[in-house]
Amino acid sequence: MAAEAVAAFREEYRQAHVPAAYRGWRHLLFTFGIDGAAMVAAILQLEQVRPIEWLAIPLTFLYTNFAEYWGHRGPMHHLKRGLRLVYERHTRQHHRFFTDRNMELDGLRDLRAVLFPPVLMIFFFTAFALPVGLALAWVASPNVAWLYIATSLGYFLNYEFLHMAYHLPASHPVGRWPLIGRLKRLHQAHHDPRLMAHYNFNITYPIFDVVFGTLHRPHRWRAPPRSSRSPRRVRP
């Protein structure tokens, strides 16, 4: 996608999807403020945690990393019934707003194309984190449930921070952090239109990209596997 086409789409997106009253810093504050407060509230509910209950943290980390991978590989890049909004926002908007050669946002208003909308953030929490937490409180213990909720919320904060960092200007000091630089290169490769539906679905740490053989290192280009399907096109 040529730079001119990206610039034209960005202007079209801003006019159609970014309200005049939108402020990127408010979106950022809502995401990190509400999520962070909920995480702290969950931590404060812990009482006399037993050693075995602390295992909820690494297990939740692996579970959320898998959910990130599968959600990205599935409904974000392939249209699923009932999840059209997720597909539209990610494949048809985010990946046209940012390509592998046009990764940087132009200003805080462009955070609209990076951060999860508040409505989706609330949906994912109530649809996934809360029900699992209630089930864990019943089958395991309240401590395990609160550790699960706190870790899930912390992982989401980590997800949003890293994803935002990948799209910051190259001159931004956060982008110079070694780990973020390595992860950004993996995510940038994912924004290559030839690769986006086939490789690098983990946005944070590529654990399940390694497990499922979908990790692509930028210095070695690979053609998409023949057995993989391209994302289904959606009629406007």
In a domain, 229, yes or no: no
Query: What is residue 209's three-state secondary structure?
Result: helix
DSSP H/E element including 178 = helix 178-190
CA separation for the pair 146, 116 (Å, rounded): 23
**How is residue 63 written in tokens?**
């579970």
**How is residue 107 written in tokens?**
């200003």
10-residue block means of pLDDT along the chain (236 residues)? 86 94 95 94 96 97 95 89 84 92 93 89 81 94 96 95 94 87 94 93 97 86 50 39
> How many folded domains does the chain comprise?
1
In a domain, 217, yes or no: no
In a domain, 226, yes or no: no
In a domain, 138, yes or no: yes
In a domain, 26, yes or no: yes
Cβ(143)–Cβ(151) under 8 Å?
no
In a domain, 235, yes or no: no
Flag whether the pTM goes above 0.75: yes
Q: What is residue 18's predicted lDDT score, i.e. its pLDDT?
A: 94
Give 99's strand partners. Answer: 102
Q: What is residue 112's predicted lDDT score, i.e. its pLDDT?
A: 94
In a domain, 54, yes or no: yes
In a domain, 225, yes or no: no
37: domain range? 3-211
